[in-house]
């Protein structure tokens, strides 16, 4: 069985078929993105994706020498400016996690303080129990030595060391949440400040046939020209202990790495 999660980076409605980006012996599925400013318009960025070094269960080759076939075996494909992740749950589960890579073999650092981030997502085939996650982590641009091989991952939950994490989307066809996880040094808010429309009383906002109808793609958070609000986060935990929203804003200003993954909780699968 496979479950499909599509993320399309569509700052411009433009589909491009680019050559496979190859560096240091690994083939990287291309995923063009666009950086836009009011006066200068949108400029395409030479970006691609790289699998986390540990996302290798079905890959024939090791990190640093994986091929496009290895990526596909792990459930990762791109076409034009669209990324599709498959979560294979028949037998041994394979839950891919990828990062956005720049044209120099390092992670693309997104500095989003006072910026807008737009992404198209298709959650139509993800049932309860699946998590299609799109989030930012304050990882090192060089992956602590070898970003080109998908190294250096850590987040708020990581054992031994943790870093700021901004969960933009953790969602499936039935539910969605957004959660800042601020850190101050190595003290991180692991629970985070969860914003769930359903928990906020908006039980009909997100879901199949609801206001944001997940049977169709969604441009976060606009569908059919209508903007949908799930609420806002005004405060986030103890600023003295974890840094709160102030610390999260500072991390966004410094630059964070875009991570995209799909995984599930088998106990909740239907």
Residues involved in catalysis: 165, 170
Q: What order do you get walking across the sheet with 76-79 strand by strand?
A: 76-79, 82-88, 2-8, 120-122, 218-219, 222-223, 226-227
Q: How remote is the C-alpha of 258 from its chain's centroid?
A: 6
- Cis ω for the linkage preceding 221 (within 30 of 0): yes
- Give the 3-state secondary structure of the chain: CEEEEEEECCCCCCCCCCCCEEECCEEECECCEEEEECCCEEEEECCEEEECCCCCCCCCCCCCCCCHHHHHHCCEEEECCEEEEEEECCCCCECCEEEEECCCCCECEECCCCCCCCCEEECCCCCCCEEEEEEEECCCCCHHHCHHHCCCCCCCCCCCCCCCEEEEEEECCCCEEEEEECEECCEECCCCCCECCCCCCCCCCEECCCCEECCCCEECCEECCEECCCCCCCCCCCHHHHCHHHHHHHHHHHCEEEEEEEEECHHHCC
Q: What CA–CA distance (Å, rounded) separates 151 from 138?
A: 13
Q: What CA–CA distance (Å, rounded) separates 241 from 49?
A: 34
């Amino acid at each position: 069985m496979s479950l499909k999660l599509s993320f399309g980076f569509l700052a411009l409605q433009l589909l491009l078929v680019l050559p496979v980006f190859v560096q240091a012996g690994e083939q990287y599925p291309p995923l063009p993105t666009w950086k836009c400013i009011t006066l200068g318009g949108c400029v395409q960025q030479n970006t691609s994706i790289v699998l986390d070094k540990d996302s290798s269960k079905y890959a024939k080759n090791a990190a640093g020498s994986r091929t496009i076939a290895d990526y596909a075996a792990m459930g990762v494909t791109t076409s034009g400016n669209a990324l599709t992740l498959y979560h294979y749950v028949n037998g041994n589960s394979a839950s891919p996690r990828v990062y956005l890579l720049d044209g120099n073999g390092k992670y693309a650092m997104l500095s989003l303080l006072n910026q807008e981030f737009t992404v198209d997502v298709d959650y139509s085939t993800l049932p309860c129990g699946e998590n299609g996650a799109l989030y930012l982590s304050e990882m090192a641009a060089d992956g602590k030595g070898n970003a080109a091989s998908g190294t250096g991952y850590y987040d708020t939950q990581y054992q031994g060391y943790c870093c700021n994490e901004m969960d933009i989307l953790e969602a499936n066809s039935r539910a969605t949440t957004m959660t800042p996880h601020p850190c101050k040094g190595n003290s991180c808010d692991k629970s985070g400040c969860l914003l769930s429309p359903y928990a906020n009383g908006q039980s009909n906002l997100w879901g199949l046939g609801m206001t944001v109808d997940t049977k169709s793609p969604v441009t976060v958070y606009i569908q059919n020209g209508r903007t949908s609000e799930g609420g806002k986060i005004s405060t986030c935990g103890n600023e003295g202990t974890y840094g709160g929203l102030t610390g999260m804003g500072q991390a966004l200003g410094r630059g964070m790495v875009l991570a995209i993954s799909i995984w599930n909780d088998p106990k909740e699968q239907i």
